[in-house]
Structures are given as structure tokens and as C-alpha cells.
Chain A
């Protein structure tokens, strides 16, 4: 690679397009929601006021009020931290576990790798949503058992992905060079090989936050995740279940927001994937 090529690569910038600007703005808004929910809360989300039950959406209550007269908008704002936060915790933990197992297996090889990949295969063959429900129910119905259950069913796809990359890179010249220079196996893995997976990981993790969010709210909907009176989104829809025919807004807005966040993740994942493909194209030229 000539120095000119090196420069092109390092300065290959991501140009702002409408999609990226919208994506960044949406992410910033979500981040503020998660970290500073009090900025958006317009009414006390815990105060029970029977006189205010089932008020339809209005300026005072943009998403209406629920069966206890609480402001649905404010509850959703507070719930963002739980629902999105848990989805992110699940994805990060699953990616961490998967990366470690995949990298170790792919690097060491031999019977140990065979064993690890067989274990991964077994996990990949589970009907994951059902198993997550069963584990979460068996462990005890709370937020953390749902998180644990989802991590257990979610790590294998990361292990598979990282293992493939590591095995591919193992024979590369730069790895041999690093070894010649005296780097230990774990150093080479940490500094050179695992960083090769970051782009793929970024795409996968972005998408997965959306998919985990759907599964997590699904668990909560079944009463396996967050417990009342938490303003977790899936749980809110579950409590709205019995009132759907007289207060359409009660389940409607929480679901709409989940849908929006999931679509955002899929859309951003697509976007990161596209940038990655474009960069690769440039580097080749």
C-alpha cells in the first residue's frame, strides 16, 4: 500500500446525508431521554388520580392517561431508560460473551475450538424466544432474569461471527509479523485481530438493540420482565390489554414508540452497513 493510498483511506470521510443527519438527531434525542428523562416529564407519572382516568390525548396529556389517571407520555419517557437500557445491556453483554468465546475458540483451534463451536451450535438451534421465556420464568419474574435469559440466548451468533473472522485472520502476514516481534497471543488478539471485527460488530449490535427491544418488551408483556408499577413499555401495553376497546391510546402510543425505536435501529444498522461497504470499495481502489 502506497502512502497515497494510506492517506485516502484515513481521510475517507462519512459525508452528511439526510439519512445520517436524521439518524444522529434521533440518537441524540434518545440519549437525552435515557439520561435526562426529567427534562421531558410533563406530569407526575406516579400520581394516581381516579378523576383523570382514560383521558384521550390532548395538549395537557399528549398520549392520554391510563387506568389510574397517570400521564402516559411521562410514564413512557421514564420507561425509555428501562426498556432501551435493558436492550443495550443485553446486546453489549451478549456481544462481550460471544466475542470472548468466539475469539478464544478461533484462535486456539483444535479440539477446544470444536467443543466451543458445538456448544455454540446447540445454542443456535434453540427456539430462542421460547427458551428466553422459560429461563426467565424459571429464574424468577423480574427485570434481571429477563436480561439474563436474553443474554443466554443471544450470545451465540456473536461467537460464530467473531470466530469466523479470527480464524480467517490467524494466518495473515501481520499476525506472523507481530508474533516475530514478540507479541503474545492475547496481545495479538486484543490489539490486532479483534479490532478487525468492530465494523461487523457495530452493524450487528445496532440491529440487535432493536430486535432485543422487541423480545424484551415481549417478555415484559407476558409478565416475565419488569414488574408493576414500573413504566416499562411492554408492561404498559400488557396493562392496557384489558382496556383496548375503551381507550385506544393506552396501548397505541407505547407500541408506536417501540416500533419507532426498532425501525430506527434497523435503519441505522443498514446505514452503518452501507458506509462499511463504501469504505471497503474505496480501500480496494
Chain B
């Protein structure tokens, strides 16, 4: 029983979605078109709020972007010139409206570092990050859910206790630490895995078509490149998956255990149905909604964790780009990244909601 109390709250941000968030919690009247419209509006509201919050806090709190952009050796005139160029001499309200207007025109400003439009940079760095995140999310879901189900089925005893200890330790491992340990392990024993970086397109004469290394190797029909791309993915993905595995384990276990105690399971067993069928067809299907919701929320964590993992493994994606922007106070990339990642996260969560409604009609009735 010890787990039950925390399990409902166990994901890193406990009960983020409990009770349903946003407009979706209301009954959907007026059919799917209206529902779709509310959902899209919701995505815009959340993204707008995230960007505005970062924008306002970044401008109100006294750090001087112009001073930073101009560099340490710049004189007062140069700083004033940079300030005028960046539009930082305008009233805050005008700056804010200009920025929002820019977003509507798909203009996220220029990066001080790369001297290129932020949108162009982001589009270049996004695919490797998405590749990492999606593969990690998939692996995380498969391993976390299956281990959680196994745990729920185990009788109380040593093995069950062991998994419990693993889940407590694995509830929130510092991802940067796991990353460094993995590098250490590979460097000292398993020398055949690359310690950092990603597939080098030049080595194989591949074209960068999608930016997803695995996909590009497949498109190029180069199996060696494919192997290399996968080898480079193993360590970062492992770090991301391991660091949060405990949470998936615990939530799946509670949900499945609760479901196993329900009368229909006893009935099904009494009917002589095989244990496998009972668990996989009946129990798992009925426990899907909370588990999928949890996975959707963990995706948000993965997006943040990826930034850290990319720094550890020098993975050339959005995370490394963000890291450089953080270090140099490059405001436009920081805002652009906030925008893109928030949008990705909200859209993924909307999709998980949709999947739940599709898999489990009861959710629709409840709404």
C-alpha cells in the first residue's frame, strides 16, 4: 500500500493533468468542429502565455540585452546604437507587440550568435532533437509500461520489493549524471559505442534531407551509416529513459493493480480465460487512459531532459543551440526555443488526449 499514496502524485509534476486541463475538461457541445477549434485556440493560448512570460520577465528584470549584445568592450555609444538596432529603446509594450507581430509573420528575430534568423536555426536544429526525443519516448513507454505490468503481476516478495527499490531510486535520477556515468562506462569497457556526437554525414557521403539521422541513412540506402546513426543514439536515449523510468513503473503498477482487483477480472478468470488474455486484452486496455496521460506529460520532461542530454553528449540539436543561447544571453533564440518546445509539448498532449478518447470511449461519456 505504501505506493498508492504517492503514486497518484508520483510523476515529476504531480497531477498536472488531474481532472483534465483546459477547455477539453468541458463537455464538447456542437460536434467535432467546435471541439477542434477550442483545442487549437487552447494551443495558441498556452504558447502565447509561455512566450509572454519569458519575454516580460526577461525584459523587466534588469539585465541589459543591448549591453550583452554589444559585447564587453563596447563603449556607451555603441551600446546605444545596438539598443536602437534591436529595438530595445522602444517602450516595453511596443517591443512586446513587435515581437508578437513578428511571430505572426513567422519572424522570430535574428540570433546574435549565429547572425541568422532564429527560425532558420531552429528548423535546422529541431530534427535531431525530435529524433532523440521520439525514440526515447517510445523506448520509455515500452520498457516502463511492460516492467510496470510485470511488477503488478508479481506476488509480494523479494522480486516485488526489488522493483520497488529500483522505482524509488529511479524516480528522478539526475539525467546529466547518468549521462556522464554512461560515457565513463563506455570509455572504460564498452569501447565500441561512440561517447558523443552524432552521425557524420560527410563520412558516408550522405545528404542531409530530413535531419533525422536514422531516416536519412535509410533514404540514402546506406546500412553502415544506419548502424552508425543508431550507435550514436544509444547512449543519449538510455540516459533519458533511465532517468525517469521509476515514474512510469510506479504509475503503471498502481493503475494495473487497481484494475486487477476489479470483479470483471475474477469473472474472466473464472470463465477459464488465459491469464495472458485477461491481462493484455482486458486489464491493460482499461488501464490505458492514465498511463497514456502520464506518458504525454513525461514527454514534457523529456523535452527538458533532452537539452541537458544534448549538452552532455554534444548532440547537435536544439538543446545544444539553447545551451549556447543561454550562455550568451541571446534573447531571440531563447524565446524562439520556448515557443517551439511549448508548442510541441501542447500538441503532443492534445494528441495523447485524442488517442485516449479513441481507445477508451468511456472517457468521452465522462466528459
- Name which residue of chain A comes closest to B312, CB basis: A241
What residues on B are CB-neighbors of A218 within 8 Å? 174-176, 304, 308
What residues on B are CB-neighbors of A184 within 8 Å? none
Q: How far is the CA of A279 from the CA of B42 in the complex (A)?
A: 41
Q: A134-B335, A141-B326 are in contact. Are A214 and B2 (CB under 8 A)?
A: no
Q: Is the CB of B326 within 8 A of A137?
A: yes
Q: How far is the CA of A123 from the CA of B45 in the complex (A)?
A: 11
Q: How far is the CA of A221 from the CA of B177 in the complex (A)?
A: 10
CB proximity of B198 to chain A, nearest CB, Å: 18
What residues on A are CB-neighbors of B126 within 8 Å? none
Q: Which of A125, A129, A152 contacts B304 (CB 8 A)?
A: A129
A252 within 8 A of B: yes
A193 within 8 A of B: no
CB proximity of B124 to chain A, nearest CB, Å: 19
What residues on B are CB-neighbors of A204 within 8 Å? 9, 14
Q: Is the CB of B61 within 8 A of A140?
A: yes
B294-334 interface bits toward A, Cβ cutoff 8 Å, 1 = contact, 0 = none: 00000011011101100110000000001101110101001
B85 within 8 A of A: no
B6 within 8 A of A: yes
Most chain B CB neighbours (cut-off 10 Å) among A127, A132, A152: A127
Binds B, one of A56-64, A67-75, A265-273: A265-273
Q: Is the CB of B177 within 8 A of A237?
A: yes
Most chain A CB neighbours (cut-off 10 Å) among B173, B305, B338: B338
What residues on B are CB-neighbors of A274 within 8 Å? 1-2, 5
Q: Is the CB of B13 within 8 A of A263?
A: no
A-B contacts, CB under 8 A, total: 211
Q: How far is the CA of A133 from the CA of B342 in the complex (A)?
A: 12
Q: A130-B304, A214-B172, A255-B181 are in contact. Are A203 and B338 (CB under 8 A)?
A: no
Q: Is the CB of A237 within 8 A of B301?
A: no
What residues on A are CB-neighbors of B334 within 8 Å? 134, 137-138
Q: Is the CB of B341 within 8 A of A245?
A: no
A183 within 8 A of B: no
A92-136 interface bits toward B, Cβ cutoff 8 Å, 1 = contact, 0 = none: 000000000000000000000000001001111111111111110
A170 within 8 A of B: no
- Name which residue of chain B comes closest to A269, CB basis: B6
Q: Is the CB of B307 within 8 A of A133?
A: yes
- Name which residue of chain A comes closest to B326, CB basis: A137
What residues on A are CB-neighbors of B50 within 8 Å? 126, 131, 134
Q: How far is the CA of A182 from the CA of B12 in the complex (A)?
A: 42
Q: Is the CB of B46 within 8 A of A126?
A: yes
Q: How far is the CA of A262 from the CA of B168 in the complex (A)?
A: 9
A187-222 interface bits toward B, Cβ cutoff 8 Å, 1 = contact, 0 = none: 000000000000000011001101100110110011
Q: Is the CB of A124 within 8 A of B174?
A: no
B331-363 interface bits toward A, Cβ cutoff 8 Å, 1 = contact, 0 = none: 100110110011011100100000000000000
Q: Which of B57, B305, B335 contacts A139 (CB 8 A)?
A: B57
What residues on B are CB-neighbors of A215 within 8 Å? 12
A245-278 interface bits toward B, Cβ cutoff 8 Å, 1 = contact, 0 = none: 1001001101100110011001101111110110
Q: How far is the CA of A221 from the CA of B312 in the complex (A)?
A: 10
Q: Is the CB of A128 within 8 A of B187?
A: no
B63 within 8 A of A: yes
- Name which residue of chain B comes closest to A125, CB basis: B46
Number of interface residues of A (CB under 8 A): 68
Interface class of chain A by DSSP = helix
A224 within 8 A of B: yes
Q: Is the CB of B308 within 8 A of A221?
A: yes
Q: Is the CB of B53 within 8 A of A128?
A: no
CB proximity of A229 to chain B, nearest CB, Å: 17
CB proximity of B274 to chain A, nearest CB, Å: 34
Q: Is the CB of B169 within 8 A of A259?
A: yes
What residues on A are CB-neighbors of B307 within 8 Å? 129-130, 133, 222
CB proximity of A25 to chain B, nearest CB, Å: 18
- Name which residue of chain A comes closest to B328, CB basis: A137
- Name which residue of chain B comes closest to A124, CB basis: B16
**8 Å CB interface, B34-80 against A:** 42, 45-46, 49-50, 53-55, 57-58, 61, 63
Q: Is the CB of A137 within 8 A of B342?
A: no
Q: Is the CB of A255 within 8 A of B180?
A: yes
Q: Is the CB of B342 within 8 A of A259?
A: no
A65 within 8 A of B: no
Q: How far is the CA of A145 from the CA of B63 in the complex (A)?
A: 11
B183 within 8 A of A: yes
Q: Is the CB of A137 within 8 A of B329?
A: yes
Q: Is the CB of B49 within 8 A of A122?
A: yes
Q: Is the CB of B6 within 8 A of A270?
A: yes
Q: Which of B172, B180, B183 contacts A266 (CB 8 A)?
A: B172
CB proximity of A220 to chain B, nearest CB, Å: 10
Q: How far is the CA of A203 from the CA of B8 in the complex (A)?
A: 11
Q: How far is the CA of A263 from the CA of B6 in the complex (A)?
A: 13
- Provide a sorted-by-A list of 19 A–B residue pairs whose CB atoms are within 8 angstroms: A125-B346, A126-B49, A127-B304, A128-B13, A130-B338, A131-B53, A131-B54, A131-B342, A134-B337, A135-B57, A138-B61, A141-B326, A204-B9, A204-B14, A217-B174, A218-B175, A241-B312, A270-B5, A273-B6
List the 6 shortest-distance A-B pairs measured between CB atoms, nearest first. A273-B5, A129-B304, A138-B58, A255-B177, A127-B300, A127-B345
